Chains A and B, each alone.
Chain A
Amino acid sequence: MSRNGGLPARRAVVRWALRLFRREWRQQLAVLTLLTVAVTAAVLAVSAGYHATPPATAAFGTARQALTLNGDGSLDARLAEARDWFGTIDVIGHTDLPIPGPTGTVELRRQDPSGPYAAPMLRLRDGRYPTGPGEVALTDQVAARLPAEVGGTLTLDGRTWTVVGTVENPGDLRAQFILGAPTAGEPPQSVTVLTDATLQRFEQYLERHGRPAYALRPSLVWVEAAAGVFSVFTVGMLLIGLIAAAGFAVVAHRRQRQLGMLAAIGATPRHLRLVLLAHGAAVGATAAAIGTPLGALAWFAVTPRFETAAGHRIGALDLPWGQIAVTVLLTILAATAAAWRPAHSAARLPVTLALSARPPRPKRARRSAAVAAVLVVLGIVALRLVQSNRPADGDALTIGDVALVVGGTLAIGFALLSIGPSAIRLLAASAGRLPVATRLAFRDLARHQARSSAALAAISVALAIPAAIVIGARALESEPASGDGLGALRAIATTAGALLALVILAVTVGLIRAEAAGDLRTLTAVGATRRIRRALTSATAGGLALLGAVLGILAAYTVILAGSSAEQLRELARVPVVDLTVIAVGVPLIATALGWLLAGREPRSLTRARLE
């Protein structure tokens, strides 16, 4: 038997955590909703990214190589050689036919609809495939241009055919052609020979036959789009993870007494950590379980429009399941990681303090401020290194430089999390002469340092991103050609960033005030008016927004200044005053006003005990 209870103990602890989540999921609704929306958006985005590029079947069917041969007199002999060499080939003939009008020609394509490789390149939409020399099928666009319809006749270049159907290349809806029977009529101007040989055998063929024009099936064309989608998703998850960390800090405090009880009956610190980590994982898994089908349903709804835009048909269940699985995994990991810090803190609490349900004495902010300072210095050094490594001609960055940029930016981003406790203490210390509600609000933020710091970090990151965009855009506006576009970009970034920060504020301040419901009852019981209750929420929102805006702008400037060349530094002298004022002043003011308007309701019961 394990000294710490082994599997039975872990199972018991996880069971309890899951039961509590089932009982109290409503208290996690805000975090759950944010994560669910993120998963839905990610599933939609990875599906769109996956299908944004045309599939390889558009030009290759199921083949791996395509040769192009000219249709001269020796074509039949060369096709026979290719057949001998490769075993199985699929031949598609191409002839350009003149048509009336400015566009000039249309392709007559001779292709076997059930060919060994090219079958996926054709789809019958109406009628039937042509089988004899006098029959053709048309794509919709060609039928509309000529015009012709199924059952009618088509005359082009002195020849007449009966139109027996309409067809398309499902991998390339923009392809316009007339489909003839594979072996009918005169020789084509050129042919595409599809093969599925090994690369070595294909190379040998090319060497022996004077290297005719060829193409190899591209592999994983969707990877770049997927990488872009995952980068955005990761940043989004970082932001949501910070909000979730604030939410989980609230959960940890709510369960403090029960965790103390669990410790009193013999749970180890590892068991206590597991309770909150299991809770985080459960929140992530629930969000993934709801968000994934929602994302898939949303994708099914937009697929018809997306097919037209992307120019290829999309199978009903042709979703990037691997990428979706990664999204689900990342969501669960992000939620579990967000629970790590609250779990770690809760497990380290002395049992008697946990049983008393009092918040732990805030840790000294000096240490976390020192960590923040080290992170900022590391970030600046990394970004300056990139500048010093960069050649004067401004060549593309190497992989090492990209790693330094990402690392430096992340270091400064994480510094926001570490500077939180000091910033909040400073805010609380400044509240000495302020009205009672503001004083209480700021001191409450300082008392519950864990949740306040996570909330502040989320707001700071949300405002740092638009601040960086507007600062960069304003610096680039010296180029006259791009002036208008960059102005619009600044406006969009400022508005989007402000809205995002306000949503985060709504969630985090909601969590903080819900947690302080007991204090609100006490305040009301001793005669606090609706005005004071409003001021309490309003000051919490305004204080966090103000600190978040200041830290966000500072972080944005730090990253940009550290990563700029001497010439770029001169351009940064143009400060986007209006946008930064909206972020630094407008957002806190709106947050304060919204806090005032949305709060103030009297607690339903002045005596009811806090939920455990």
Chain B
Amino acid sequence: MTAVLELRRVSKTHGSGPTEVHALREIDLSVRGGELVAVMGPSGSGKSTLLTIAGTLEEPTSGNVVITGHDPAGLSRDARARLRRQAIGYVFQDFNLLAGLTAVENVALPLELDGTPVKAARAAAMDVLTKLDLADRATRDPDELSGGERQRVAIARAVVGQRRLLLADEPTGALDSLSGETVMRLLRRAADDGVACVVVTHDARMASWADRVVFLRDGRLADQTVPSPGPESLLTPGDGR
């Protein structure tokens, strides 16, 4: 399967002179559709920067990023926004559902932003929520959902509309272990459905759901491993893989 995300010798430097910080140094990374890659590393190792560059939220200082065949470097802000709407889904640590919109409206939002009429967008969003066992929560406000439910809605929003790349920054960081396992199971399922997933995590147990684990240290790619099958889990998640 071809790579959905490719980072070629990507570096990112913040500041200049004495305050210069190298967040990433010559990173090469390729993620294929259907692959779940976990990114681990200590604080300040560049994990989140890697994710924001992969998601076109930031531009690298040097190197190339290719997402579904497009190099966002030459694109306008509007074109990059379109690429995010159509190809990239984001899941953040602290849920980040938009207050004031119900769960189904949150999930439908990327489609509506892309011009899908409201009725069709809601129908597609409802389909995804149903697949994630959240149909009965569809009309609830984010305030009325538990942390785990909110993160599942965020995942639904990230995968709605045939998006090919899912980027998750500490998606289980604010959840208890049971909810964390459920979220990882959903990310795994998204990968099994053909989506390329990159998950930043501190938690080795969560990383064990991945096909490949990438270690970052001081902005460099320090190591890559393939975890042994059968993650340690409270729920024996093996059947979900």
Q: State whether B99 touches A20 (Cβ < 8 A).
A: yes
Q: How far is the CB of A171 from chain B (nearest CB, A)?
A: 53
Find chain A residues with CB under 8 A from B77 CB: 268-269
State in angstroms the CA–CA spacing of A13 and B112 once bound together.
9
Select from chain A the residue with minimum beta-carbon distance to B52. Answer: A352
Given the known interface contacts A8-B116, A350-B58, the answer about A16 and B86 at a Cβ–Cβ threshold of 8 Å is no
Count of A residues near B, CB < 8 Å? 35
The answer to the question of A11 belonging to the interface, with a C-beta cut-off of 8 Å to chain B, is yes
Q: State whether A266 touches B98 (Cβ < 8 A).
A: no
State in angstroms the CA–CA spacing of A584 and B112 once bound together.
53
State in angstroms the CA–CA spacing of A258 and B89 once bound together.
16
The answer to the question of A301 belonging to the interface, with a C-beta cut-off of 8 Å to chain B, is no
Q: State whether A262 touches B98 (Cβ < 8 A).
A: yes
The answer to the question of B90 belonging to the interface, with a C-beta cut-off of 8 Å to chain A, is yes
Considering only residues 1-43 of chain A, those with a C-beta below 8 Å from chain B are 1-6, 8-9, 11-13, 15-16, 19-20, 22-23
The answer to the question of B118 belonging to the interface, with a C-beta cut-off of 8 Å to chain A, is yes
Interchain CB contact (< 8 A) of A351 among B57, B78, B82, B118: B57
Q: How far is the CB of B153 from chain A (nearest CB, A)?
A: 13
Considering only residues 92-119 of chain B, those with a C-beta below 8 Å from chain A are 92, 96, 98-101, 105, 108-110, 112-118
Interchain CB contact (< 8 A) of B113 among A23, A258, A266, A350: A266
Taking chain A's interface residues, is the majority helix, strand, or loop, or is none over half, making it mixed?
helix
Interchain CB contact (< 8 A) of A261 among B92, B105, B114: B92
1/0 per residue, CB under 8 A from B, across A380-420: the answer is 00000000000000000000000000000000000000000
Given the known interface contacts A23-B100, A269-B78, the answer about A264 and B90 at a Cβ–Cβ threshold of 8 Å is yes
Considering only residues 246-260 of chain A, those with a C-beta below 8 Å from chain B are 257-258
Given the known interface contacts A8-B117, A8-B118, A9-B112, the answer about A16 and B92 at a Cβ–Cβ threshold of 8 Å is no
Given the known interface contacts A9-B114, A266-B82, A268-B77, the answer about A16 and B57 at a Cβ–Cβ threshold of 8 Å is no
Closest 9 CB pairs of A and B: A266-B85, A19-B100, A12-B112, A266-B84, A1-B115, A351-B57, A5-B115, A268-B81, A261-B96
The answer to the question of A263 belonging to the interface, with a C-beta cut-off of 8 Å to chain B, is yes
State in angstroms the CA–CA spacing of A352 and B60 once bound together.
13
Find chain B residues with CB under 8 A from A266 CB: 81-82, 84-86, 88, 110, 113-114
Q: State whether A16 touches B113 (Cβ < 8 A).
A: no
State in angstroms the CA–CA spacing of A50 and B81 once bound together.
52
Find chain A residues with CB under 8 A from B108 CB: 12
Find chain A residues with CB under 8 A from B212 CB: none
The answer to the question of A271 belonging to the interface, with a C-beta cut-off of 8 Å to chain B, is yes
Find chain B residues with CB under 8 A from A268 CB: 77-78, 81-82
Among A264, A269, A352, max chain B CB count under 10 A is at A264
The answer to the question of A203 belonging to the interface, with a C-beta cut-off of 8 Å to chain B, is no
Find chain B residues with CB under 8 A from A22 CB: 100
State in angstroms the CA–CA spacing of A1 and B55 once bound together.
24
Find chain A residues with CB under 8 A from B84 CB: 264-266
Q: State whether A9 touches B98 (Cβ < 8 A).
A: no
Given the known interface contacts A2-B115, A16-B98, the answer about A265 and B78 at a Cβ–Cβ threshold of 8 Å is no
The answer to the question of A612 belonging to the interface, with a C-beta cut-off of 8 Å to chain B, is yes
The answer to the question of B121 belonging to the interface, with a C-beta cut-off of 8 Å to chain A, is yes
State in angstroms the CA–CA spacing of A250 and B67 once bound together.
36
Find chain A residues with CB under 8 A from B101 CB: 15-16, 19
The answer to the question of B32 belonging to the interface, with a C-beta cut-off of 8 Å to chain A, is no
Q: State whether B82 touches A3 (Cβ < 8 A).
A: yes
Find chain B residues with CB under 8 A from A594 CB: none
Q: State whether A12 touches B109 (Cβ < 8 A).
A: yes
The answer to the question of B188 belonging to the interface, with a C-beta cut-off of 8 Å to chain A, is no
The answer to the question of B152 belonging to the interface, with a C-beta cut-off of 8 Å to chain A, is no
Interchain CB contact (< 8 A) of A8 among B90, B98, B121: B121
The answer to the question of B47 belonging to the interface, with a C-beta cut-off of 8 Å to chain A, is no
The answer to the question of B25 belonging to the interface, with a C-beta cut-off of 8 Å to chain A, is no
Q: How far is the CB of B68 from chain A (nearest CB, A)?
A: 14
The answer to the question of A267 belonging to the interface, with a C-beta cut-off of 8 Å to chain B, is yes
Find chain A residues with CB under 8 A from B58 CB: 350-352
Find chain A residues with CB under 8 A from B113 CB: 5, 8-9, 12-13, 265-267, 271
Select from chain B the residue with minimum beta-carbon distance to A271. Answer: B113
Q: State whether B78 touches A258 (Cβ < 8 A).
A: no
Q: State whether A8 touches B57 (Cβ < 8 A).
A: no
The answer to the question of B164 belonging to the interface, with a C-beta cut-off of 8 Å to chain A, is no
Extra contacts, 7 of them, besides A2-B115, A266-B88 (Cβ < 8 A), are A4-B81, A4-B115, A11-B118, A264-B92, A265-B113, A266-B86, A266-B114
Find chain B residues with CB under 8 A from A257 CB: 96
Q: State whether A265 touches B157 (Cβ < 8 A).
A: yes
State in angstroms the CA–CA spacing of A568 and B157 once bound together.
69
Q: State whether B110 touches A8 (Cβ < 8 A).
A: no
Q: State whether B99 touches A23 (Cβ < 8 A).
A: yes
Q: State whether B112 touches A5 (Cβ < 8 A).
A: yes
State in angstroms the CA–CA spacing of A258 and B114 once bound together.
18
Select from chain A the residue with minimum beta-carbon distance to B56. Answer: A351
State in angstroms the CA–CA spacing of A268 and B113 once bound together.
9
State in angstroms the CA–CA spacing of A12 and B55 once bound together.
23
Considering only residues 51-65 of chain B, those with a C-beta below 8 Å from chain A are 52, 55, 57-58
Find chain B residues with CB under 8 A from A16 CB: 98, 100-101, 109
Among B58, B114, B117, max chain A CB count under 10 A is at B114
Select from chain A the residue with minimum beta-carbon distance to B81. Answer: A268
Q: How far is the CB of B58 from chain A (nearest CB, A)?
A: 5
Given the known interface contacts A8-B117, A16-B100, A350-B58, the answer about A265 and B110 at a Cβ–Cβ threshold of 8 Å is yes
